[in-house]
């Protein structure tokens, strides 16, 4: 293996949004740094079953709201 081609792999502390912490090895930061998460599996709607963006109205919902009453002549 070549020297100085791989990043430093060291222990860091990860702090979740609910305050829990755990230690893991990472290339992020420096030895002993704390990575504070803003979104994690305990708070993100994709894992908690919260509302989805599609239900809040995307392009199709805006199109239907704008042109929903339009009828085509036959």
Contacts of 14 (CB under 8 A, 6+ apart): 21, 22, 23, 24, 34, 35, 37
Phi/psi at 69 (5° precision) = -85, 0
Which pLDDT tens digit goes with each residue over 32-58? 999 999 888 887 777 777 665 555 567
Is 30 a residue whose pLDDT tops 70?
A: yes
- Collapse the DSSP code of 17 into the 3-class scheme (helix H, G, I; strand E, B; otherwise coil) and give the result: coil
Is 26 a residue whose pLDDT tops 90?
A: yes
Q: Report the predicted TM-score, pTM, of the whole model to 2 decimal places.
A: 0.56
Percent share of the chain, pLDDT over 90: 36
Q: How many residues does the chain have?
A: 74
**Mean residue pLDDT across the chain:** 83
């Amino acid at each position: 293996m070549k020297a100085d081609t791989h990043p430093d792999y060291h222990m860091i502390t990860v702090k979740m949004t609910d305050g829990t912490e755990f230690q893991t090895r990472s290339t992020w930061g420096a030895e002993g740094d704390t990575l504070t998460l803003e979104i994690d599996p305990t708070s993100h709607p994709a894992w908690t079953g919260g509302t989805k963006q599609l239900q809040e109205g995307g392009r199709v919902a805006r199109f239907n709201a704008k042109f929903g009453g339009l009828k085509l002549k036959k």
